[in-house]
């Protein structure tokens, strides 16, 4: 009795104390509203730097609806818990961030709390943005506050109870938001550290490429081991990379900058937008990202290296096996004409023996690309591929997927392909209609005179 | 030998499984409305309808057409009895050189079968895949809208006057 009383008392104290501590973490005051600052009050060079940082951070991809006004938000971002709608981050006073001070903006980036003190859902990747420096936040703020103000109220999130209670997010932050900021590794080069700062911070690569746990947080023990985004599979970009040819810093730089590498192919799906954005930022930042990520991919083992060399050598050989299955016939008629032509893009595609999609565990990307193809970018000599959604039924796409897997990969066959295709057909329609397209043409002038 | 259903008729065709549909239509069946433009599925001039959907025939191998119904522009109407989509394009003078127009009409036809009263945005969204170098784009959009009106009227006329028109 006495003993349990003591335990009860201790528990009560713990609960009260814990509750108090939780309240302290969960509750944030509003930061006073300001009058939207005039454009001229921001330094032009700061705004320019902010533009580059916004491209590095991919802000527009979630905060702009395809065909809609820049940064006006309201894009439905699918999550396992229901769609979350991105907010309007134009300087509109009523519906955007026009009344936010720089302090309020910085708090949102660092702690995921809006100006009024409400918790923001971690769909906004503040678990990464918490690492962004004050200086970079200032430039981003200057850039966003000098955009065209758009009056547009985002729709209400469709989350079920209790997730629709924002206070729940405070608990999530307690578990998964590490506010220590970026710590440089002094044993590494300046470039590596710059890359680490960008990748782990503003560029938030792990938001797509790291798998998430049941609570929707990145699994820290599986960094860059592959994840999901908008019904696309974000490949593992660590030692588990399924790319037939191992990545190195030079290939990464070219791919991130130009959206294409002859040993790896084309960035498409959500990654096309990333590459498009990275073509407009300083080359040194892309080199830094490539340098850090090459380290994350790891130095390939001799076996892995040899596999890559074999894949490259085989890609140069002509194959002349008569097609013996439906999948093989479809491949010969619909795919080989470009993918075995040896022509440079846009008139040819990479040999499929080099395709990461065919070697990955998840067949969705390949199904997506077969159905919707790759649309050209206006004003650019960009990669192209016609989509086959109109003429191939689910059974035919599945047959082609199975054939490509068996012919171009040593990995085990995929299962349930018809279901994958049906699902891809359903979701790709939504993706094509709703997501922000790669409307910003790559600005890298070096790309313009290349095939 | 395989059976290819085109414009309601069965044709016995001697073609390899990987031969593009466009080649069979033009070379074997002498149906020359669909044009060879880029051969990469990027310009739209080879567009025909397969089971109600607009399809790029230059990148569609024969193996994908077993049991499917192909419709070409010849199957919609003729010189003496043009289909609504053809009449509309003539009345709006929407063709200049005309090379892209057969493909444009086929995709517009597929759109109108699915969406009888398309908005400007829907028309543009569909035809964005088609290239026209002459620049009759505004007339083409008007023609598609006129075809929608003609089809609406045609639906009200007695069946004896022909439903295909």
Best CA proximity match to B21, nearest among B70, B67, B54: B70
Domain borders along chain A are 2-176, 190-297, 315-434
Round the CA-based radius of gyration of chain A to a whole number and report it.
24
Which of B61, B69, B128 is the best residue to mutate to test the A interface, defined by the most A CB atoms within 10 Å of its own CB? B61
Chain A residues inside the 8 Å CB shell of B119:
none
Chain B residues inside the 8 Å CB shell of A329:
17-18, 61, 63
State whether B50 and B96 are in the same domain: no
pLDDT at A15: 55
Chain A residues inside the 8 Å CB shell of B61:
329-330, 332-334
pLDDT at A337: 92
State whether B123 and B63 are in the same domain: no
State whether B102 and B146 are in the same domain: yes
Residue ending a domain, choose from B23, B53, B75: B75
In a domain, B163, yes or no: no
Range A315-434: architecture per CATH: Orthogonal Bundle (1.10)
Scan residues 53-92 of B and list those with Cβ closer than 8 Å to A: 53-56, 59-64
Q: Which two tokens stand for residue A174?
A: 């307690």
Å between B53 CA and nearest CA of chain A: 6
Dist. CA A263–CA A191, nearest whole Å:
25
Of A330, A333, A386, nearest to B42 by CB-CB distance is A386
Are A390 and B64 within 8 A, CB to CB?
Answer: no
Of B18, B53, B61, nearest to A390 by CB-CB distance is B53
pLDDT at A322: 78
Which of A374, A383, A386 is the best residue to mutate to test the B interface, defined by the most B CB atoms within 10 Å of its own CB? A386
Chain B CA closest to residue A339 = B40
Of A334, A376, A384, nearest to B61 by CB-CB distance is A334
Residue ending a domain, choose from B46, B75, B104: B75
Of B18, B40, B60, nearest to A391 by CB-CB distance is B60
Of A330, A385, A390, nearest to B61 by CB-CB distance is A330
CATH number at residue B89: 1.10.150.120
- Quote the number of domains for chain B: 2
pLDDT at A346: 84
State whether B84 and B67 are in the same domain: no
State whether B59 and B49 are in the same domain: yes
**Residue A212's beta-bridge partner residues?**
A218
Distances (CA, A) of A436 to A64, A65, A77, A311, A396: 6, 5, 12, 35, 30
Of B17, B40, B55, nearest to A323 by CB-CB distance is B17
Low-confidence residues in chain B, pLDDT < 70:
155-165
DSSP for B28-83 reads IS---SS--S-SSS-S-TTEEEETTEEEEGGG-BGGGGTT-EEE-GGGT--SSS--
In a domain, B87, yes or no: yes
Q: What is the pTM of this model?
A: 0.87
Å between B108 CA and nearest CA of chain A: 15
In a domain, B164, yes or no: no
pLDDT at A392: 96
Are A333 and B40 within 8 A, CB to CB?
Answer: no
Of B40, B54, B63, nearest to A347 by CB-CB distance is B40
Å between B41 CA and nearest CA of chain A: 5
Other C-beta atoms closer than 10 Å to the C-beta of A285 total: 22
Chain A CA closest to residue B18 = A333
State whether B71 and B83 are in the same domain: no
* A386 Cβ contact list (under 8 Å, min separation 6): A373, B40, B41, B42, B56, B59
Round the CA-based radius of gyration of chain B to a whole number and report it.
15
In a domain, B47, yes or no: yes
The tens place of each residue's pLDDT in chain A, 451 residues long, gives 455 555 555 555 555 556 667 777 788 999 999 999 999 999 999 999 999 999 999 999 999 998 889 999 999 988 999 999 999 999 999 999 999 999 999 999 999 999 999 999 999 999 999 999 999 999 999 999 999 999 999 999 999 999 999 999 999 999 999 988 999 999 999 999 999 999 999 999 999 999 999 999 999 999 999 999 888 999 999 999 999 999 999 999 999 999 999 999 999 889 999 999 999 999 999 999 999 999 999 999 999 999 999 999 998 887 667 788 999 999 999 999 999 988 888 889 999 999 999 999 999 999 999 999 988 877 777 889 999 999 999 999 999 999 999 999 999 999 999 999 999 998 876 444 333 333 333 333 233 222 2
> Of how many residues is chain A composed?
451
Chain A residues inside the 8 Å CB shell of B20:
333
In a domain, B162, yes or no: no
Å between B80 CA and nearest CA of chain A: 31
State whether B65 and B83 are in the same domain: no
In a domain, B57, yes or no: yes
Chain A CA closest to residue B121 = A67
Of A330, A385, A388, nearest to B63 by CB-CB distance is A330
In a domain, B16, yes or no: yes
Å between A37 CA and nearest CA of chain B: 37
pLDDT at A376: 81
Residue ending a domain, choose from B42, B75, B108: B75
Chain segment B11-38, per-residue pLDDT in tens: 999 999 999 999 999 999 999 999 999 9
pLDDT at A323: 81
Residue numbers of the domain that contains B87: 76-153
Other C-beta atoms closer than 10 Å to the C-beta of A355 total: 24
Chain segment B62-76, per-residue pLDDT in tens: 999 999 999 999 999
CATH number at residue B47: 3.10.20.30
State whether B96 and B142 are in the same domain: yes
Are B18 and A384 within 8 A, CB to CB?
Answer: no
Chain A residues inside the 8 Å CB shell of B40:
338, 346-347, 384, 386
Residues A72, A90 contacting (CB under 8 angstroms): yes
Chain B residues inside the 8 Å CB shell of A338:
40
């Amino acid at each position: 009795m006495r003993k349990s009383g003591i335990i009860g008392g201790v528990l009560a104290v713990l609960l009260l104390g814990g509750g108090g501590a939780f309240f302290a973490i969960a509750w944030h005051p509003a930061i006073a509203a300001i009058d939207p600052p005039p454009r001229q009050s921001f330094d032009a060079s700061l705004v320019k730097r902010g533009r580059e940082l916004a491209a590095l951070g991919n802000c527009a991809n979630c905060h702009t609806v395809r065909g809609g006004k820049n940064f006006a938000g309201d894009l439905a971002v699918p999550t396992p818990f229901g769609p979350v709608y991105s907010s309007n981050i134009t300087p509109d006073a009523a519906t955007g961030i026009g009344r936010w001070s720089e302090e309020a903006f910085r708090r949102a980036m660092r702690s995921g709390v809006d100006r009024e003190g409400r918790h923001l859902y971690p769909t906004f990747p503040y678990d990464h943005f918490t690492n962004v420096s004050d200086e970079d936040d200032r430039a981003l703020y200057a850039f966003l506050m000098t955009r065209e103000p758009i009056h547009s109220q985002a729709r209400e999130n469709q989350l079920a109870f209790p997730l629709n209670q924002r206070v729940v997010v405070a608990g999530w932050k307690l578990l998964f938001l590490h506010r220590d900021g970026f710590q440089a590794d002094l044993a590494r080069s300046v470039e590596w550290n710059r890359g680490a700062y960008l990748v782990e911070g503003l560029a938030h690569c792990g938001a797509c490429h790291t798998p998430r746990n049941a609570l929707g947080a990145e699994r820290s023990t599986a960094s860059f081991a592959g994840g999901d985004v908008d019904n696309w599979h974000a490949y593992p970009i660590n030692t588990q990379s399924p790319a037939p040819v191992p990545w190195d810093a030079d290939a990464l730089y070219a791919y991130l900058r130009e959206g294409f590498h002859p040993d790896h192919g084309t960035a498409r799906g959500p990654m096309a937008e990333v590459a498009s954005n990275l073509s407009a930022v300083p080359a040194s930042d892309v080199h830094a990202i490539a340098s850090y990520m090459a380290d994350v991919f790891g130095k390939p083992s001799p076996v892995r290296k040899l596999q890559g060399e074999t894949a490259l050598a085989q890609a140069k050989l002509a194959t002349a096996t008569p097609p013996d299955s439906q999948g093989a016939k479809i491949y010969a008629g619909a795919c080989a004409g470009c993918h075995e032509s040896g022509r440079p893009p846009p008139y040819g595609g990479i040999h499929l023996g080099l395709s990461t999609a065919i070697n990955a565990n998840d067949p969705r990307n390949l199904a997506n690309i077969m159905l919707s193809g790759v649309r050209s970018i206006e004003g650019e000599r960009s990669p192209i591929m016609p989509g086959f959604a109109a003429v191939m039924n689910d059974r035919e796409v599945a047959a082609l997927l199975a054939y490509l897997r068996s012919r171009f990969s040593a990995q085990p066959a995929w299962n349930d392909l018809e279901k994958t295709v049906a699902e891809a057909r359903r979701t790709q329609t939504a993706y094509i209609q709703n997501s922000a397209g790669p409307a910003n043409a790559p600005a890298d002038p070096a790309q313009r005179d290349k095939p | 030998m395989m059976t290819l259903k085109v414009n309601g008729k069965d044709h016995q065709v001697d073609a390899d499984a990987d031969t593009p549909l466009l080649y069979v239509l033009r070379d074997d069946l002498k149906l020359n409305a669909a044009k060879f433009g880029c051969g990469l599925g990027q310009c739209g001039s080879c567009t025909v309808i397969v089971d109600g959907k607009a399809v790029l025939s230059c990148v569609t191998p024969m193996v994908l057409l077993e049991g499917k119904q192909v419709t070409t522009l010849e199957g919609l109407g003729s010189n003496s009895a043009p289909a609504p989509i053809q009449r509309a394009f003539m009345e709006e003078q929407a063709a200049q050189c005309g090379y892209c127009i057969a493909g444009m009409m086929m995709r517009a036809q597929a759109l109108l079968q699915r969406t009888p009263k398309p908005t400007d945005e829907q028309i543009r969204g569909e035809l964005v895949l088609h290239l026209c170098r002459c620049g009759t784009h505004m007339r083409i959009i008007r023609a598609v809208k006129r075809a929608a009106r003609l089809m609406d009227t045609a639906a009200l006329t007695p069946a004896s006057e022909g439903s295909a028109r």
